[in-house]
Amino acid sequence: MDIPSPSDVSVDQVTQELILDATELERQVNERRPLPAEVIHNIQKELLGERVYNSNAIEGNTLTLRETKSVLETGGIIDVGRKREATEAINLGKAIAEVQELVGDRESWCDVARFTAVHRTLLTDVKDDAAGATRSERVMITGAKHQPPNPMKLDALLEQFFGELRDATNIEPIRLATWVHWTIARIHPFLDGNGRMARLWQDLILFGHQFTAAVIRQQDRNEYYLALSSADDGEFDPLTQLVARSLSKTLQIYINAQREVDELKDWATDIVGESNARLDQQRKLEYLRWVRQMEQLRDAFERCATQVTSASDGTIEVQVRSFDIVDQSTWETLRAGGRAGKTWFFWMNFRRGEERIQYCFFFGHHFFSPADSGISNIGPNACLLISEQIGDEAAVRLTELGDCPVTLREVVTVNHKIARKRLDIAEDLLVYDLDIDPLSVAREFVQEVLLNRMA
């Protein structure tokens, strides 16, 4: 038989357009690289099952796609009566892995020893006497117009084939892969496994040129055989078109996966952005409601101070010195349990004659206590705390003072309303007064200081 040079294989305009389509898909795939490793792993796993199933099914293997994938994943034999078919699937999976290792080594594409080693993997435990050995007898292909060459010519034909492949450095990859596929099938160097070897080496060429596998589907078997027969007569368009179309289908899997990742990434970004925006709006509203409650409370203390000072004959004076309320960022920090400086809200100065006491109302983080049990929505919170300073002594938080007749310990908001935490002196327990009027908080505090603390 004569083996045409791959450069002598001509294609028509339709074939050329299909080649260009596949090349454009390849460009799109490469533009989107790298895909996430998990996505690549899933594609390759799916593609392996498709390659093994279809290539074996073309040769008569009756395993379904699901069964083939199961055998490849587990390495197990699903049915003792179908051991041969399961072994064929396992072997082809191993052969694909071996061929994949040759992709980056162009010299290995043209190495007879590598070629026969892959064939040995393909037929081990299936047809051991033929595994890895070129045939030594004539074979006939039923219905084929051109029969395989005499085994005496195989060494020379393989040498010519690999020589042509080694020299084919400037041939369009899909045309070259098609030529490789047909030539191996036409030489028919082995007693069994020639079709699978032809498809393996076809995909090796494609992978070596940055493409992917051209999976010829078992449902296209009749078209495939007719295309091989046409190539026997020197007409390579049907086979090249089938390879190009099959390649495009595989490349589309990558593009769809990439598009899905991109779309999901955009979707996830959008939904997270919207969720964050809504959360930001919710936090903003919550902060502003908190500010309103705190400012109402401070206003109540200021009014009480003014009224007490106005009603006095000058012996009692109460003054309030105000500071800016903390901003939202600081409020968030305090809610989260962090520390912040300069959180004074207002100072309240009491004078009775020569006696002076001042109280600092400042913001901090609300810590859980047994008194919180059973109070819904108190959660992480920023609260208003109070420290007392008498004369030049150091300031002490009211929570740390023993036998202090001033019972106010903390002010928080619960369900957007003022809640007072105070010491129940009779029971020696901390208790909450929920939804209490800010003016009541201020009035009772001022009263306790004047009547109990400064008496």
Residue 326 in contact with residue 362, Cβ under 8 Å? no
For the chain, the structural domain boundaries read 6-266, 312-453
Q: Which of 397, 432, 400, 427 is nearest to 414 (CA)?
A: 432
- Is residue 375 scored above 90 in pLDDT? no
Give the count of alpha carbons within 13 A of 301, CB side only: 24
Say whether domain 6-266 belongs to CATH 1.10.3290.10. Answer: yes
Cβ neighbourhood burial of 437 (10 Å; 0-12, 13-18, 19+): middle
Residue 412 in contact with residue 367, Cβ under 8 Å? no
Q: Is the pTM of this model over 0.85?
A: no
Structural tokens at position 57: 């099914």
User: CA dihedral defined by 219, 221, 224, 229, rounded to 10 degrees?
Assistant: -160
Q: Which of 390, 392, 427, 391 is nearest to 407 (CA)?
A: 427
H helices of 59-109, where? 65-74, 83-100, 106-109
More confident residue, 368 or 78: 368
Band of pLDDT at residue 60, cut at 50, 70 and 90? very high
- Is residue 1 scored above 80 in pLDDT? no
Judge if the upstream peptide bond of residue 34 is cis by omega within 30 degrees of 0: yes
- Is residue 169 scored above 60 in pLDDT? yes
| Predicted confidence (pLDDT) per residue in 121-155, tens digit | 999 999 999 999 999 999 887 777 778 899 999 99
The angle, 0 to 180 degrees and rounded to 10, between the axes of the packed helices 194-208 and 112-123 is 130
Looking at residue 78, what is its pLDDT?
Answer: 61
Residue 97 in contact with residue 153, Cβ under 8 Å? no
Looking at residue 40, what is its pLDDT?
Answer: 83
Looking at residue 294, what is its pLDDT?
Answer: 95
In this prediction, what percent of the chain has a pLDDT beyond 70? 98
Biggest alpha carbon–alpha carbon distance for the chain: 130
